[in-house]
Chains A and B, each alone.
Chain A
């Protein structure tokens, strides 16, 4: 299979993982277990009750940074997107961030002399980064996810409160809050280690740290991409639909 072609519903599930093992945690987020035999993506999604379009959109966005989704592929409920986003938030908070913190603390214990200060600096840096990330995550949960929920709710009940209409008209969701600062900081941390950290004795920990940082960066990039390319489009179309219905009452 050509590495640059997007995955389709006919792609064998086993091939997906062979092609890009970084997708393992992503597929895990959907609650999919292994033992695929020769099943295709379509088979597995049907068996497990997963929306096929949504699944394809997520893994393709992750696999190929230049993937351009087509409109008809985005035909799924924004609840799915939000649930997935919440799962990735939990993954960062409960798995990835503690994992990285643990490695840094381990290194801090193992290094001696001058280099201990350097590791402490990296630890402080990551701690600040973690707070900033947490601020971002806990901002978007009410401001974006809950807002999307309100829009959907209004549409399904066909009740449009003045306040909501006012908000859509005066302050629609134009763009997602800035992500670049979070991206730059993570890349700085990697560079401080790769380019400038004097040699440490605990090489194995240091390698694990770098790999974990690359994983986190990859995953966040994908997360931000889904926000920017999928969720925003969905929320905008909800806003538009509400205004149309409101005007045509």
Chain B
């Protein structure tokens, strides 16, 4: 996994029970993940944590902190961080999603081997899938979308990237077709929503 402290994956372990949290930490350690860990012991603390720390990658949640009104509480977490992967643990099963909005895939755990495999799957397997889903555009297209959103003309984009105007136009057409968004303000909103540019970098929509 990535070593740089800044780029470490961020994991929240949320459970009332200290023993649960310790156990999960051990498993994460065993499968060789070295994340930045946050521990919480109530729903509110989890929510606060997700609000203060942006882009949590994984949330491992024991059902003891969402006993009442489970669906709504989960929904609230989804809203804060839609891309976060979620694992729900109760006494006899593990359930996890590839992103917090997807349907659950449920696993009954009969042995410690199965348990570790499930964790491995949760942390590694689905990672690549997640990237596919979020990148509708190629790297080049993302670069061009960024320039469009910053208000550069076709000519300027072509000069900056040392490609021909026709290539820029082809890329633009592909971007528009893939995203189903035609106007520059529309593309700009898309770019901000997907963290391709920051709101402050935009002069006007």
- A residues contacting B by CB (< 8 A) are 111-115, 117-118, 121-122, 124-125, 128, 181, 184-185, 187-189, 191-192, 195-201
Contacts and interface: CB of A to CB of B under 8 A. Distances in A.
B181 A198 contact: no
Nearest to B189: A121
B75 interface: yes
Interface string B194-205: 100001000011
A199 B102 CA distance: 11
Interface in B57-97: 75-76, 78-82
A184 B78 CA distance: 31
Q: Identify the interface centre among B51, B54, B205: most chain A CB within 10 Å of its CB.
A: B205
Nearest to B77: A113
15 contacts: A113-B79, A113-B80, A113-B81, A117-B199, A121-B205, A125-B185, A125-B186, A125-B189, A185-B186, A188-B183, A191-B186, A192-B190, A199-B82, A201-B75, A201-B76
B193 interface: yes
A128 B205 contact: yes
Interface of B: 51, 54, 75-76, 78-82, 101, 179-183, 185-186, 189-190, 192-194, 199, 204-205
Name A's interface SS. Answer: helix
A122 B192 CA distance: 11
A195 B183 contact: no
A114 B181 contact: no
Contact of B79 (A115, A181, A192, A195): A115
A124 B189 CA distance: 9
A112 B80 contact: yes
A125 B183 CA distance: 11
A115 B78 CA distance: 11
A181 B134 CA distance: 28
Contacts of B51: 113
A195 B189 CA distance: 13
Contacts of B193: 118, 121, 192, 196-197
A184 B190 contact: no
A198 B78 CA distance: 9
Nearest to B100: A199
A125 B205 CA distance: 7
A221 to B, nearest CB: 16
Contacts of A122: 189
A118 B80 CA distance: 12
Contacts of A113: 51, 79-81
B76 A121 contact: no
A188 B79 contact: no
Q: Identify the interface centre among A111, A128, A191, A192: most chain B CB within 10 Å of its CB.
A: A192
A184 B101 contact: no
A241 to B, nearest CB: 40
B79 A112 contact: yes
A121 B101 CA distance: 22
B186 A199 contact: no
B82 A198 contact: yes
Contacts of A185: 183, 185-186
A197 B189 CA distance: 10
A198 B183 contact: no
A176 to B, nearest CB: 20
